[in-house]
Structure formats: C-alpha cells, structure tokens
Amino acid sequence: MENSKQLSVAVPSGADAWTVISTVNVPAGMKRIKKLIFGVAPDWGLTAGSVRAAPIFRIQGAGLDEQSPHEYLGEFGGHAEVTTGGIVQKELRKEYNVDIPVAFGGEISVEVNTLDEAITAGSCIAQIVFDSEAAKASNSMAQVIDVAGTTTADAYASVGTVNIPKTSGAKDPKKIKKILIGVAPDQGTSAVSLRIAPVIKLTGAGIIGSGDLEYVGKLGFSGEIGTTPSQGIGFDGMTQEIDVDIDINAGGEIDVEHKFVGETPTASTVAVGFVYA
C-alpha cells in the first residue's frame, strides 16, 4: 500500500539559500519513503538571455526515522542566446528510488535551494511517495556539495571536502551506492558554440582502498550557424546518476575535484552528490 503527497511553491527569489516548499505529516500506516520526485518549471521571462538552473533539494524533520542529511540534485540545465530568440528547456525533473524509514504523524519539511543564480520565476514541485513496507536499507542518507565550475580546461579543480556522516548507532553509511553529477552552464551572450564534458575525481581517507576514482558526468554540446545567430540554445538534463559500489569509512573525508575536458563554459555551477547505503 502506498500514499503520495505533492508539494509546490514559487521558485525562490534569491540564490544559495534554503526555501521551504511545504511540510507534510507521515500518513497512517506508512513506514518508509520509497520514491522522491523533484522538479522545477522555470519561467525565464523576456529579458533573461543567459541563465542557469541548478536546483538542489532536501528533506528533514521529525517524520524521518533517520538523521539527516537527505540531499538530492534536481535536474540541472541552462541556456544562452546571442541576440533574440526563444528556447525550451524540458525534463527538469528528477526521480529517486529511496528506502527512508519514517515515523507516523511526524512532520517532514521539503526544501529547495537554487545554486549561484536565482530563477526569474516559475514553480518548484516535489512529490513524496510513502509505502507501508518497512525500510530494508541500513542507511539511506544522501549528501551534496557544489562549487562554481572551473574556467581552466583539462585541469582538476576542487569542489570541496565531504565529511561522511557518522551516526550514534550501528547504521553508519558503509558504501556510496550512487554518485550524482550536475552541471548548469551559463554561457553568456557572445559564444554559444560549446562542448561540455565534465569529469570528477574522488580521493581521501573516507574511501576504503587506494587510488583515485574518476567518473564522467553528462556530456552535451551546442552549435551555431553563421556569425550572428538569432536563436537561443539550451542544455537540458545535465544531471548524471551513476550506480557505484564504493566502500567508505563513516566519519572520514572525501576530497572531490572536477574538470572539463577540452573547453569550459563561460560560467557554470557544478554539484556532486553521494547516496549512501
């Protein structure tokens, strides 16, 4: 048996701050969250010629029978235009299969944060799908880190350091089971011919084993015809999910780096997420 709740709010008016979409109380008979769906429907208006969409989401509160963090990437994207013209961005929606234990009647707050740049207008939407089955996972935490994208091609630059959560009991995270990589390009208004080829690298004592771990994000490109194109270009679906099986030390640190192969966007936001088990 399942129960599903949909929540929505206007996009935040400012960047880099958490905004509550809404709250929900865990329905009777529900024992876990089995699916999370997050989305943004932007309305850029008539004047935003070069913009990025880099939404991240989190859930927290007494309704979660597991300590935070529970942070997830939305679908990243961006667009640019040289003179005038329209652009369509589609599928700015991410769906995650999860296994998060919940407590009946407890409140869950769903929040959104638009990184680096506010979206002109639009709607943020979340859906929580509950289930009557007991959670089976030993740990279901998820964690996100972000940085302004490097502007030097073919050289690693830091995203930051992740401190792997450590609980007070036997449910410490033991593995990373999924890596999320998001790139939101903001190409400006003068050069819309671009390749995007992101790579991340993981090192640090939080990882059990030796050597660097490297992963490729979502690849994309744009082109232009002539020297004065009058059509906008867009990047959709720039969040990559990668299934992995990385043994980790709870409480340890993971250093995260990123690079762009060949060339870089004029500006961008890069975010990396870990889903634990």
Domain boundaries, the chain: 2-276
Pick from 44-58, 125-139, 193-207, 210-224: least confident: 44-58
pLDDT for residue 274: 98
pLDDT for residue 222: 65
Confidence of residue 42 (pLDDT cuts 50, 70, 90): confident
Structure pTM? Answer: 0.91
CB 239 within 8 A of CB 73: yes
> Residues 151-172: pLDDT tens digits?
999 999 999 999 999 987 678 9
> What is the number of other CB atoms lying within 10 angstroms of the CB of residue 188?
16
Confidence of residue 121 (pLDDT cuts 50, 70, 90): confident
Confidence of residue 66 (pLDDT cuts 50, 70, 90): confident
Single out the residue of 236, 277, 199 nearest to residue 94, CA to CA: 236
Confidence of residue 194 (pLDDT cuts 50, 70, 90): confident
pLDDT for residue 237: 83
Q: Output the six-digit token pair for 160.
A: 């930051």
Pick from 27-36, 37-46, 64-73, 204-213: least confident: 37-46
Higher pLDDT, 23 or 196: 23
